[in-house]
Amino acid sequence: MTMTGDILSPCSDIVFRMLFGDARNLDVLRSFLRAALPLPRDDYDELTLQDPFLFSAKHDDKASVLDVEAKTKSGKVIDIEIQVANHAAIHARVLYYLSKIVAKQLKEGGSYKRIKPSISIFITDFVLLPEEEDYYNDYVFINRKTGRIFSDLMEIHTLELPKLPPETDNTSLWAWMRFLKSRTKEELEMLAQRHTELAPAAKKLIDLSANDKAWALYEARLKAERDRIAREEFVREESREEGLKEGLKEGQLTIARKALRRNMPVEDIAALTGLSPEEIRALQNA
């Protein structure tokens, strides 16, 4: 494919994973993390991807989450996810996936003492937190009265692209957010000239944008997302109709059964219906 000025959108979760979830691009991931997450600098000297992106592997474009999960030198687990559209109960979903990371550590280590901090970096191309002014916010468990931190084992860091100021705030994080908003090769190259730390990522994105297979994965992911939206609209419409016909609980179960027949992910059904994942899996096995 020849370059025409357009580039793959780095806001697409599949493109984001090709950029930051490829073991060959650890320097790109390291540079981004140092800008986004103020851990001790040497903690990023050793990064391990938990599930590296492989071009040779068959990609499931129906996956509901395409995140990047990495482990630092000290054992901290960092999960990075990017979303271009708001989903039902998205705050609960962020907590659910972060909790799964903690639980996975316990399963692997066998002792609570071995659990390392689990950190979620959640990037959105929509306003996630209308009550907050800044484009970057971080959350931990604290005492509402005293402000004291209960535990540092779970952190959530949010980055909202629509809130990014048009002019630089003189941080590397601002430059990386502008990178994610780039839509043309010219814009990307100008940004890399002003912010040299972005040059390797810019080159990788330009190379990917000239790759037919990368475009095919990108377009398949767009289709999967359109299909997901259509399924959710169907379920919402069904929920209104079923809610009028049946009691709340039975209506939820009916909607869940229909959604399962359409292969909607369990977590999305739970968010839309209010049923627990366990109740929905019981329907699958019934």
Q: Alpha helix locations (H) across 162-198?
A: 172-181, 185-194
CB–CB of 53/12 below 8 Å?
no
Q: Which two tokens stand for residue 28?
A: 């790109």
CB–CB of 172/35 below 8 Å?
yes
Cα 243-248-252 angle, rounded to 5 deg: 80
| Cα torsion through 99, 41, 171, 20, rounded to 10 | -60
CB–CB of 79/120 below 8 Å?
yes
Cα(113)–Cα(110) distance, integer angstroms: 9
Give the closest residue to 34 by CA, choosing from 24, 20, 23.
20
Cα(260)–Cα(258) distance, integer angstroms: 5
3-state secondary structure of 29: helix
pLDDT at 114: 84
pLDDT at 57: 47
pLDDT at 92: 86
pLDDT at 236: 65
Q: Which two tokens stand for residue 240?
A: 């209104």
Cα(115)–Cα(246) distance, integer angstroms: 45
Q: What's the mean per-residue pLDDT of the chain? A: 86
The low-confidence residues of the chain, meaning pLDDT below 50, are 1-4, 57, 61-62, 244
pLDDT in tens, 222-273: 887 787 777 767 766 766 665 545 566 777 788 888 888 877 888 778 877 7
pLDDT at 65: 60
pLDDT at 2: 38
